[in-house]
């Protein structure tokens, strides 16, 4: 089945769905029992509901089924459509579709802030929310190294490990390289290498 962009975006902003996908990426095909043993932070009932929904949306596929007494235990993996979704865009160099993906990603972030603004208990300072932008100068290899390091920093915090932890969305955006490097250097010098932060 063709994947819906909205379903993919939902997986990136839902901590439990994202955790399922990261587990599958790390370990390969898994059963619900194995995910629970791995420490996914949801009840068994909620996990089965998430897995069934993700399968119906075409995000996951069932790679095998095993009879365990009177029950059938399913082994899940990311669907081929999901695995190849961005691969197809990159292979075809479909810049327009790529921009649509980013638009949906950005709108999801805007939606989170709009929902936050409607909360009567919202407190910007107390809630530790914010956003930042900084221009960096890198080679492709250096940029890949930076993004890999960011992933490894965030990985331990994808699952809740203590009662006091709250869910935040930590988004990383790397823009395409700007065409006029000399102009960027001049603009950056005028700004005094300051990171623009609102928090």
Instruction: Give dist(CA 194, CA 199) in Å, integer.
Output: 15
**Going by DSSP bridges, is the β-strand pair 196-198/71-78 parallel, antiparallel, or unpaired?**
unpaired
Q: What is the pLDDT of residue 47?
A: 95
Residues 12 and 66 in one domain: yes
**Domain CATH for 92:** 1.10.10.10
State the 10-residue block means of pLDDT for the chain, 199 residues long: 72 83 88 91 92 93 88 91 78 83 80 89 90 88 94 88 89 84 54 48
By C-alpha distance, which of 26, 81, 161 is closest to 34?
26
Residues 93 and 118 in one domain: yes
Q: What is the pLDDT of residue 196?
A: 45
Single residue among 105, 122, 139 that ends a domain in this structure: 122
Residues 164 and 194 in one domain: yes
Residues 14 and 57 in one domain: yes
Q: What is the pLDDT of residue 190?
A: 47
Instruction: Give dist(CA 32, CA 30) in Å, integer.
Output: 7
Q: What is the pLDDT of residue 48?
A: 95
Single residue among 122, 141, 175 that ends a domain in this structure: 122
Structural domain harbouring 64: 1-122
Q: Using the 8-state DSSP alphabet, how is residue 163 labeled?
A: T
Crossing angle, helix 5-13 and helix 95-117, to 10 degrees? 50
Residues 135 and 185 in one domain: yes
Whole-structure pTM value: 0.58
Q: What is the pLDDT of residue 38?
A: 87
Q: What is the pLDDT of residue 120?
A: 95
Helices (H) and strands (E) in the chain, counts: 8, 5
Give CA angle at 83 (147, 41), nearest 5°: 70
Overall domain count for the chain: 2
Residues 1 and 95 in one domain: yes
Residues 91 and 39 in one domain: yes
Q: Is 50 in contact with 16 (CB distance < 8 Å)? A: yes
Q: What is the pLDDT of residue 31?
A: 95
Residues 32 and 107 in one domain: yes
Encoding tokens for residue 23? 């587990």
Instruction: Give dist(CA 54, CA 46) in Å, integer.
Output: 12
Q: What is the pLDDT of residue 194?
A: 46
Single residue among 106, 122, 138 that ends a domain in this structure: 122
Residues 118 and 136 in one domain: no
Q: What is the pLDDT of residue 10?
A: 80
Residues 171 and 89 in one domain: no
Residues 183 and 167 in one domain: yes
Instruction: Give dist(CA 184, CA 49) in Å, integer.
Output: 49
Residues 103 and 6 in one domain: yes
């Amino acid at each position: 089945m063709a994947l819906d962009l909205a379903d993919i975006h939902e997986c990136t902003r839902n901590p439990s769905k994202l955790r399922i996908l990261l587990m599958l990426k790390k370990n390969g095909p898994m059963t619900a029992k194995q995910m629970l043993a791995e420490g996914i932070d949801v009840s068994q009932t909620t996990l089965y509901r998430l897995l069934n929904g993700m399968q119906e949306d075409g995000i996951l596929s069932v790679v095998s089924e095993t009879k365990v007494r009177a029950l059938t235990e399913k082994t899940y993996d990311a669907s081929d459509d999901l695995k190849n979704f961005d691969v197809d865009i990159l292979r075809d160099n479909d810049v327009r579709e790529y921009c649509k993906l980013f638009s949906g990603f950005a709108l999801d972030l805007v939606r989170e802030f709009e929902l936050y603004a409607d909360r009567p208990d919202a407190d910007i300072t107390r809630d530790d929310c914010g956003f930042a932008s900084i221009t960096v100068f890198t080679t492709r290899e250096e940029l890949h190294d930076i993004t890999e390091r960011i992933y490894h920093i965030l990985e331990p915090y994808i699952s809740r490990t203590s009662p006091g932890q709250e869910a935040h969305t930590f988004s990383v955006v790397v823009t395409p390289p700007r065409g006029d490097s000399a102009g960027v250097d001049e603009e950056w010098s005028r700004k005094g290498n300051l990171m623009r932060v609102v928090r």
